Amino acid sequence: MAGRGSGASIRGKVTTKLDPRAFAELIASRRIAAVTGTNGKTTTTHFLAAAVRAGLDDDGTEVVTNADGANLHHGIVSALGEAPQAPVAILETDERVVADTVRLGHPEILVLLNFSRDQLDRNHELTFLGRDWRAALAAAGPDGPMVIANSSDPLIVWVCQRARAVVWVDTKPRWTADSTLCPNCGGVLIHEATSWHCPDCPLRQPEADWWVDGEEAVSRKGDRHHLDLQVPGHFNLTNATCALAAAVEMGISPDDALAGMHTVASPAGRYATTVISGTEVRLLLSKNPAGWTESLPLTSSDPLVLAIDAVAADGKDVSWLWDVDYEQLVGRTVICTGPRALDLAVRLSYAGVEHVVIEDLAEALESPLLAGRWDKDHPIDVLSTYTPFQKLRRLGGLA
């Protein structure tokens, strides 16, 4: 009613205030698949929810999910409270909520996508989060979840040493700068073309059960499945492969799962095309160096709009800007916008990228620089951090 968002978090906050046991009560006695990781969890949750709904021929009563991305305790309570009788829950889970989800929800499936520096003032060192996940899986013992895990991430592999059972997915990421040291012994990891290992202890990349080959998800059994997706990028092919592996473990046929995933077009506004301030735009979200490394190559418009903020939801530390390869934008013009546009402008100056600063989002999309530079088949790409992205969704009528 206030026009400040979806209402998911405040609804869950009120529910939890009325009943402090709401999270534990609402998450119990369901078939749960939880999806977590620094990057990709919203899209992967959408993929998995669509796959399971297709497999169960769900009429809207069997599967509940927190599709708007509210993934802390309050957001999960809000989603589950909307469908208290739904027997299946596909939950996007914030990294800090994983341990409680495993302990209280006893999930059937836990999808672990990746670890990357993100919101440094909130999450601090990645190893501390990994330690909590590892302890939760150890405590779950033989009743723990089947884990669908990224074999390319050393910290994820270390976490999964305490899991009951693991299905490994090789994601072949571009970004490896957050996996320099071995989480097991502290040695310097060796990254090779197709794998990684620690020279000082037994930790190494496990043999994959699933991987991506071109636009196909391939299983170790030799099965090949064409990934007919409506969202771009190699990283989304790997997200879809993780979702497919999870759906198969839940008893969904690959054909049904793939048909469901094909329906996912713009999860929570990502990759959506809309009109803002008279300009046709395509919205992309990236929150950290790993995300920007994957997303920047997807952009093609000139000018390109980059929106930056640094409030709590974005992470207040913007030092990560210096880890992103903005040099690849040389030869294009960038419009820097958002409350921290000047920080980005300094970084682009050092990268030798031509740019202008227009801090107001709406004004940036009215810039004369964009006149005649787009059409419906070639919208202006707008890549932003979390808070500007949500404002852009509202400006474009998508939220």
The string of DSSP letters for 170-199 reads E---S--TT--B-TTT-PBPEE-SS-EE-T
CB 178 within 8 A of CB 126: yes
Alpha carbon distance 251, 53 (integer Å): 12
What residues make up the domain containing 316?
A: 272-395
Do 97 and 213 belong to one domain? yes
pLDDT, residue 239, reads: 98
CB 323 within 8 A of CB 289: yes
Among 243, 267, 291, the domain boundary falls at: 267
Report yes or no on 358 lying in a domain. yes
pLDDT, residue 110, reads: 98
User: Domain containing 255 — which CATH number?
Assistant: 3.40.1190.10
pLDDT, residue 160, reads: 97
pLDDT, residue 365, reads: 95
The packing angle between helices 8-18 and 73-82, to 10°, is 90
Do 246 and 346 belong to one domain? no
User: Domain containing 379 — which CATH number?
Assistant: 3.90.190
Query: 160 among the known binding-site residues?
Result: no
Containing 110, the helix (H) or strand (E) segment is: strand 109-112
Query: 182 among the known binding-site residues?
Result: yes
Among 267, 285, 313, the domain boundary falls at: 267
Do 112 and 94 belong to one domain? yes
Report yes or no on 366 lying in a domain. yes
Alpha carbon distance 91, 293 (integer Å): 26
Do 279 and 356 belong to one domain? yes
Do 261 and 281 belong to one domain? no
Report yes or no on 101 lying in a domain. yes
pLDDT, residue 121, reads: 55
Do 104 and 188 belong to one domain? yes
Do 215 and 234 belong to one domain? yes
What is the token pair recorded at 69?
């991305």
Do 262 and 299 belong to one domain? no
Do 263 and 368 belong to one domain? no
Do 96 and 215 belong to one domain? yes
Do 354 and 296 belong to one domain? yes
Report yes or no on 340 lying in a domain. yes
Among 217, 234, 267, the domain boundary falls at: 267
Select which of 317, 325, 343, 381 is catalytic: 317
Report yes or no on 1 lying in a domain. no
Containing 99, the helix (H) or strand (E) segment is: helix 98-100
CA 298 to chain centre: 16
Report yes or no on 282 lying in a domain. yes
**pTM of structure:** 0.94
Report yes or no on 2 lying in a domain. no
Report yes or no on 3 lying in a domain. no
Catalytic residue at 323?
Answer: no
pLDDT, residue 122, reads: 59
Total tally of structural domains belonging to the chain: 2
Do 226 and 94 belong to one domain? yes
CB 381 within 8 A of CB 282: yes
What is the token pair recorded at 206?
């496990």
Sequential pLDDT tens for the chain (399 residues): 777 767 788 999 999 999 999 999 999 989 999 999 999 999 999 999 999 999 999 888 999 999 888 899 999 999 999 999 999 999 999 999 999 999 999 999 999 999 887 655 555 677 888 999 999 999 999 999 999 999 999 999 999 999 999 999 999 998 888 899 999 999 999 999 899 999 999 999 999 999 999 999 999 999 999 999 999 999 999 999 999 999 999 999 999 999 999 999 999 999 999 999 999 999 999 988 999 999 999 999 999 999 999 888 888 889 999 999 999 999 999 999 999 999 999 999 999 999 999 999 999 999 999 999 999 899 999 999 999 999 999 999 987
Query: 185 among the known binding-site residues?
Result: yes
CB 353 within 8 A of CB 345: no
